[in-house]
Amino acid sequence: MADTGIFATTAEVARKAGDGASATSVAEAYVNDFMTQAESEINIATRHNWSDDYAGLNADVKGILKEAASNLAAIYVISYDMSGFTSRTEAENMVNILRDGYLRCISLLRDKKAQDFMEGA
């Protein structure tokens, strides 16, 4: 099976999920599913279909999409099974950090001035 996500890879998501992530939840089939969901949410939340435009975007714009998608997918990975972490608090702290990063990226992608810059880049 190959990565089917557009914005980020299984390896990038697994790195963000950390060492405590279960082998099942970081398996390519699971991450591909999580990435599809994350990419759709990003497109809808920002009211822009980045997936269709992805090939024509520059590296900086692709980077923020990668960050947003890998953060959200890593949240899904951690939430799937928290038993590998030293404590539930550790897993929740990771989720909170990833959520904050995801929300920051969404805010930037939603910003009209930033969109004008990204589309012109």
Number of H helices, E strands in the chain: 6, 0
Q: Please determine, for residue 112, whether its predicted confidence score (pLDDT) is greater than 80.
A: no
pLDDT score at 44:
96
**Which tens digits make up the pLDDT trace of 66-92?**
999 999 999 999 999 999 999 999 999
pTM metric for this prediction = 0.91
pLDDT score at 35:
97
Tell which residue, 63, 44, 45, has the closest CA to residue 54. 63
Backbone conformation region of residue 25, classed left if phi is above 0, alpha if psi is from -120 to 50, else beta: alpha
Q: Please determine, for residue 22, whether its predicted confidence score (pLDDT) is greater than 70.
A: yes
pLDDT score at 3:
85
Annotate 27-66 with DSSP letters as a single string: SHHHHHHHHHHHHHHHHHHHTS-HHHHGGGS-HHHHHHHH
